[in-house]
Homo-oligomer: A and B are copies of this chain.
């Protein structure tokens, strides 16, 4: 009967008991004729705000701003966004070879015959492939683990694409495997674990850690500085 929901103000301390039951974004079907319940968003708008709030980094205020913006766009534009969402989810899977995001069984990087097939760069996530591709420096192939070894979160080597990596390295003539995994505790564990596994088959390297470009030595943390010292190279 009511096309409305009640939504608490973000900063509110004077709620009555009946109002306290209304969480922001939660649809409430109770009668709205009490005169006390506040009716802020019309129902389809409330649903949209609730959905938008589930996105990472989107709070109630951002969700409201996005939703009101969307209502001002044309129906075609909104449909295009909705369709892009559904199609991306339906069509994008993982490459059978390297487990990078791909709309086809084997991804474009793996299919590209101009790329160096003898070098494999191992990363934790597809995001890392995207970041590395944007540097335009790397011309080899990739292997996406799908995470890092984390006993705390119950992620062991079996949950990652490590077995397929070992098979790939041992079956092909892989000249070098570059481990490009973030230097967290879990990342280090994963790097060392994979390094041990692959050493019998190929040369294994890892990316350099040190002072970031533009970084100030004075403000670098000790661990970074120690890594930078440790990884020093002779001047050409």
Q: List residues of chain A with CB under 8 Å of any chain B CB.
A: 2-4, 7, 9-10, 12, 14, 32-35, 38-45, 47-48, 50-52, 54-57, 62, 64-71, 73, 75, 77-92, 101-104, 107-109, 112-115, 126-127, 130, 133-136, 139
Contact = CB atoms under 8 A, between A and B. Distances in A.
Contact of A4 (B33, B65, B82, B108): B108
Contact of A88 (B7, B10, B32, B71): B71
Contacts of A52: 81, 84
Taken together, the copies of this chain in the complex come to 2
Contacts of A68: 101, 126-127
Given A38-B134, A101-B42, A108-B2, A81 B90 contact: no
A134 B22 CA distance: 13
A85 B81 contact: yes
Contacts of A54: 77, 81
Nearest to A135: B9
23 contacts: A7-B134, A9-B134, A10-B134, A33-B112, A35-B115, A39-B108, A39-B112, A41-B130, A42-B92, A42-B104, A42-B108, A44-B91, A45-B88, A45-B101, A47-B84, A47-B87, A48-B88, A56-B66, A68-B126, A71-B88, A71-B89, A75-B89, A78-B86
A159 to B, nearest CB: 15
Main SS class of interface, A: helix
Given A3-B103, A44-B88, A44-B91, A109 B39 contact: yes
A121 to B, nearest CB: 15
Contacts of A85: 48, 51, 70, 78, 81-82, 85
Contact of A92 (B35, B45, B91, B130): B45
A114 B84 contact: no
B88 A69 contact: no
A76 to B, nearest CB: 10
A39 B110 CA distance: 11
Contacts of A87: 44, 47-48
Contacts of A10: 134
A113 B34 CA distance: 10
Contacts of A2: 108
